[in-house]
Each structure stands twice: as structure tokens, then as C-alpha cells.
Amino acid sequence: MISHRRLLAGLTSVLPLLFSPLVSAADTHSYAEPGKVLVTALDLDLNVAMDKHVLSGHADLSLDWKDKSAHELVLDTRDLSIEQVDLLDAKNKASSLEFELSAADPILGSALHIAMPKQGAKVRITYHTSPNASGLQWLDALQTAGKKHPFLFSQSEAIHARSWVPLQDSPAVRFTYTAHIRTPKELRAAMSADNDINHALDGDFKFSMPQRIPSYLMALSVGDMAVEATGPRSAIFADPGVVKAAVTEFSDTEKMIATAEKLFGAYRWGRYDILVLPPSFPFGGMENPRLTFATPTVLAGDKSLVSLVAHELAHSWSGNLVTNASWDHIWLNEGFTTYVQGRIVEAIYGRDQDLMEFQLSTDALRRSFADDPKLDQHLVPDLKGLDPDDGLSDVPYTKGDWFLRFLEARFGREVFDPFIRGYFDHFAFQSITTPQFVDYLKANLLDKNPGKVSMDEVNEWLQGVGIPKTAPDLQAPRFKIVAANRDKWLAGTLDAKALNGKKYSTQEWEYFLDSLPPKLTLAQMQQLDAAYDLTHTGNAPIGFRWYLHAVRSNYTAAYTAMQAHMIRIGRRILIVPLYVELAKTPDGLALARKIYAEAKPGYHPLTRASVEKALSDTKR
């Protein structure tokens, strides 16, 4: 998933050992007991009630009993109404089982305890979801691009799958699944499975995911979706009015797949399709296997933001293929993926593009470390007692990527590339922890190439705070030109029009705006806006940065456009900081509340929670 900022409570000390696990091997964010009984397959049969905002039907779970003395199956649920639980025999004959839902925990939801007097191979759970399920967003027709039909999409990461399916909701548990989804006949269903791009709109869809995946990668979407191919194994799903632009923007998808395969081994998931969701999607992208979910905010018209696709595609190796066993180890997903993303971008779009994106990330991380004393700077935090949605920051993405670039620089690509490829092969379709990675690193890279990297240096990255002294300083040459012109403009010796901003890439504009003083004069804001009309840009990442300056500099001429941006877009990273900034003054807080009142119906539940926290946390 593309990164978004979240705060963490700090850990205590840096441990001096080779790598002492900072967290338990058990997943503290799941009630499940996979050491006793493991769910190996899921068969879903669900009806989609778009008008009632409810999924209803049953889930059949295939069980592998590890503990022959165990007689209870414990599953994760959140706000599910469990109607019946049955034991299914070899002929699918059902016999009723007793069950109990525990009291709901605000983070974990409710444990579903199923008494199993006899260790059966399959259970059926008949249930329906809540209209307020945290893992589902239901949009009315007016909240979509086409404004003709309602829309549904899921977001299961981190622990929201339990809000629409009763299961062992832990990344440590991998299973295959099939699904039978019934929808209104005018709508299309798509899942993180084998989507048939030629499927008739008949209201009856069947899916199969033959590879074992963790629960957070299970995804469902239902809506008015057109489909167009971008290659022999890739296609775009999107609103009929958006699909043409998306096909053009993502036309390099097949080239990205082939590039990644050349670097890191075969793509093992069959197809790679992309679903462009309505603007309310709270993230940049979500790496659901076979069907990446993507925000429409990356449709810039010039392919300048397609690194998002490179990132989500990269998850097909790092995250989906080799998965963190618990959310404390998410850097194994996101750090590796960000590194692989950079290699894909470099191979297709050039070294300059990769360096610009890398420097934007590392500059942002440096600012975070300097400005936010509450930010946990460890690569492997302890998230026990925290909602994993509130525990993620840029640290696992950027610091994890930086660590792998450090290893690459020390060993050289001729050594490091085979190591990474071997790592993906060795742990394919497994969920692992950081100590397992360290064991593999030591045996297959450090010990085979002595004198290149010490374990003390590895420990500094994995267990230390801040940015290690061994971090390679990778600067983008094109940013040096932007910086020189920026300094002249700030000094008053260069007119805004002479910045040459009309030729800037998105990344150059992001760097320019990020590196300006927090507060500009009214004359400076007016000069930039007159030269480049930043207030009315259609590029969401540039607009977001400009609106931050508008709030800090009290440039009210941009407020109408900013308000439209905040209502139209639900991607958290592009709107939540604006609410935070507005809420720092009484007038700004009043405006933020007004904007949120209008925007709230179109926001995802995760976005609502972030905005409400931003508005309530500010001292007034």
C-alpha cells in the first residue's frame, strides 16, 4: 500500500544483540489460534444488497487441526451478525454447532468461539455484515464519477477483513478462496482473484484465488465498471467515463510486469489488473493480488505519478508473495516494495526519475524525525495495544527502502540482485518475521561476502532510531537546479515566471513546494499563482502542497479551490494534513469543520476517523 503518515508511541531502548525480537512471534492483533487449528481455504457465497449496504450469505472454512486435543475454533469478527454455525461432513451435510461472540474490543472486534466436540474438516458460518462495516465503503450514485449507479469497495488492510468475513484475520494465516457473488444485474463484481474481463453483467459472478493469500489481501468491488485491456495479462477496470484516461495513463503496465520479472523472477499471479476506484478511496493504492485498487488522483495525464502502479505491482513479490507475519514487521512488506518500485521506475523511466522520488521520500522522513517527537523511528516497532491503522508511518516504507539501498551500494547489484531474487524464491507464499529475514541475510549475503557489511551496521538499521550514519546520500541532480532557482526567487533576484515551472515534472514541483519556507508573503503567493495558476491545478499532489502554503500564508484566494479539493478527494495523505493545518487557528478550525460537514458523506470510514482525530486533537 502507498504510504500515509501515522503516529506511534515510542519504544524504549536499542538492544545490542544480533537481533532480539522486539515483539512476540504471535499476532497480537488477532484472536485466532492457528497453532491449534489453521484455516486453509475459504468458500464465500454472498448476496450484495446495494440499497441496504449489507453483504449476506455464508462462509465455508476448511480446517487443518494442528492440536489433536483442541475442540474450539476461534475466529476474528467485527460487527458481524452471526446467524448460524454448522459442521459440514464430506457430503456437505450440516449439523449445528454452538457458538459465542465475545464482547467487542474497540480495536480487535469480537472473537467468535465455536465449540467443536468433534474435529471436523469444514464449518459453515451464516452471517450478514453491518451497514457500518469498517472494511466496506458504500457510495451512492452521486459519489461516483458516472453518477448513475451506487458503488461498493472493500479495504481489508490492516485488520478490516473481519468486518465482512469471519476468519483468522492475521497476515500469518494464508489460504486459498473461491467466491460466488450475486449483484444487481447492471453492476459488475470484481475481486482479488481471477477476474474474467468478458464476464456478462448477469448479476452472478464466480471467482477463484488458487494461490494462498493472507486475509488483508481479500478484496471485493461492485459497481458500474467498464473494462479495457492494456496487455495480454493486464486490464483496467474503471467507471466508463474514466477508463479511457486510465488506459492511457497505465499503458506501461505490461512493460512494468516484464521489467519486474527480469529483475526479481516470474510473476506468479496470472493476471495483473488495475481497478481505478472513486475519489473517496483513502489510499494511493492497495496491492490486492491480481487486482490492484488505485486512486484516480494519479491520473495526471503525463504518467508522472505511475510509480504508484510500480509500487503496487512490486507487492506481487514483496508483501503478497513474501508477507510480514504480523503488522510489527510491516517493513518487510513496504520497505522491500518501495525498493522494488524504485528499480522498476529506474528501468523504465530512468535514474533521474527514481532519484527524484527517492529524495522526496527521504527529505520527508528527515522532516518527520525533526518535527515529530512522537514518531517511532524504529524499523520494527511494538504495536501491541495499538490499532495497526494508527501504527504505520513513512518509517517502514522509506527507512526500509533506504536500508536495502545501503546493502545494494555495499555489495553491488551483481551480488545484491541475485540475493533479493533468491529471498523471494526461498520464502515464496510464506509469512515471515524480521529475525527470519536476518538469518537469511546473514547466511546468504553477509557470510558469503565477508567484510562488506557488519552485523553492527545491520542492527543500527533494524533496531536504531533516526537515520543511520551509513545511509547512502542519493541526491537528484534535477533538484539542484530547482533549488538554485528557488533560492534566487526567494531572494527577489529572479521573477517567478523565470523559474521555468511550466517545464517542471510533478516531482520537481513537489520538491519546490516542499522546500519553500512554511510561510510565504502575500506577494510571493500571488506571484507564483499568477505565473502558474497553482490554485486551479488538476494535479492533486501539487494542489495539496500549494493549499498547505495557502493556509499557512493566509492566502484566502485559494480557499474555494482548496475546499473543492478536500470534498472531492478522500485520499488521506492529500487531505488530512490540510485539516490539521486549518485547525491551528479558530477561523481555520471553523472552516475545517464546515468543509468536513459537507465532505463527510463521501469519505471512507478510515478517512473520517483520521479527520475527526485531527480536528479533536488540536488544542483550542
Is 160 annotated in a binding site? The answer is: no
- Cell numbers describing residue 581: 493545518
**Residue 345's Cα: distance from chain center in Å?**
19
CA–CA distance, 75 with 36 (Å, rounded to integer): 12
Q: Which of 312, 346, 457, 508 is catalytic?
A: 312
What lies within 8 Å, CB to CB, of 496 at 6+ separation is: 489, 527, 528, 530, 531, 532
**Size of the chain, expressed as the number of residues it contains:** 620
CA–CA distance, 152 with 139 (Å, rounded to integer): 6
CA–CA distance, 123 with 467 (Å, rounded to integer): 49
Long-range contacts of 449-453 (CB under 8 A, 24+ apart): 449/411, 449/415, 452/410, 452/411, 453/407, 453/410, 453/411
Residue 177 bears catalytic tag: no
CA–CA distance, 121 with 43 (Å, rounded to integer): 13
CA–CA distance, 348 with 359 (Å, rounded to integer): 18
CA-based angle 368:370:372, to the nearest 5? 55
Residue 312 bears catalytic tag: yes
Burial, 368: exposed, middle or buried (Cβ in 10 Å; 0-12, 13-18, 19+)? middle
What lies within 8 Å, CB to CB, of 405 at 6+ separation is: 339, 342, 358, 472, 474
Is 311 annotated in a binding site? The answer is: yes
CA–CA distance, 15 with 210 (Å, rounded to integer): 41
CB 255, CB 348: distance < 8 Å: yes
CA–CA distance, 124 with 121 (Å, rounded to integer): 11
Comparing C-alpha atoms, which of 497, 505, 503 is closest to residue 541?
A: 505
Comparing C-alpha atoms, which of 279, 379, 378 is closest to residue 334?
A: 379
DSSP secondary structure code for residue 134 in this structure: T
CA-based angle 340:342:343, to the nearest 5? 65
Q: Which of 272, 349, 397, 547 is catalytic?
A: 397
Comparing C-alpha atoms, which of 462, 467, 396 is closest to residue 435?
A: 462
In three-state secondary structure terms, 498 is helix
CA–CA distance, 359 with 367 (Å, rounded to integer): 12
Which residue numbers belong to the known binding site for Zn(2+)? 311, 315, 334
Which residue numbers belong to the known binding site? 311, 315, 334
Give catalytic residues, as residue numbers. Answer: 312, 397
